[in-house]
Amino acid sequence: EAVAGADPNLALDIPSGFLNTVTYGAHAGVGGAPDYWSTWSGADLASMEMNLGLSEVLTNGSWFGCSYTDFDPPLAPTMPIAATNATAVVERSLLDLVVYPQPAADVLFVRVNEDGTHALRIHDLGGRTVFTGRTNGLTTAVDVAGWAPGTYVLVVGDTRRTIAIQ
C-alpha cells in the first residue's frame, strides 16, 4: 500500500487481507474476472512460495511477488520488470510547506501551515549548507539573488523540499 500511495498509476483493492484488484494505468487484474491474484515470497526468485493472503512478514532482502492465475496450477511470478513511471515511498511530514516561485530568481517564499518560528536550512546537492535561518510567521522570504542556478534542498523542521534557483 505504501508504493500505491506513492505511484498515482497504481491502485489496490485489499478486502479482508486478500489482494482482489490491481490496477496500473489502463491495465487491470480483477479478482474473479476470470482469474485471481496469488501472492508469493522467498529469498530469491527460485525459492518463491505461495502465501495465504497478504500477511507474510518480509525482511531485508526478501522477494515478494504477485501473479494473476486460475490456480490450475498456481503460476509463480517471473522476473520483475520495472514500472515505466518512477515510484517512491510517500514521506509524512509535520509541516505543510508551499514554496514559490519555482524556479526562483530573486526571492523564494516559504509558507508553512503553523504560525511561529521553525529552523530553515538550504543545502546544495553536495550537502553544503548555503543558507540558515528561521521562518517568521506563516510566510518567510529568502533572498536568493546571486545564488548559482541549480537544484537545492530546503529543510524546514523535519520537512524537505527540492527547489530550483535560476
What is the pLDDT, as a whole number, of residue 57? Answer: 78
What is the pLDDT, as a whole number, of residue 105? Answer: 93
What percent of the chain has a predicted confidence (pLDDT) above 70?
84
What is the pLDDT, as a whole number, of residue 114? Answer: 81
Those residues with Cβ within 8 angstroms of residue 109's Cβ, 6 or more apart along the chain or in another chain: 99, 100, 101, 139, 140, 141, 142
**How does 115-124 read in b/e, with b if 16+ C-beta sit within 10 Å?**
eeebebbbbb
* Average confidence score pLDDT of the chain: 81
Low-confidence ranges of the chain (pLDDT < 50): none
Q: Residues 93-104: pLDDT tens digits? A: 567 888 999 999
Strand-by-strand arrangement of the 63-69 sheet: 49-50, 36-42, 63-69
Domain residue ranges of the chain, discontinuous segments joined by +: 2-69, 97-165
Q: Report the predicted TM-score, pTM, of the whole model to 2 decimal places.
A: 0.45
What is the pLDDT, as a whole number, of residue 133? Answer: 94
| Fold that domain 97-165 belongs to in CATH | Immunoglobulin-like (2.60.40)
Q: Measure the CA–CA gap between 22 and 28, rounded to whole angstroms.
A: 6
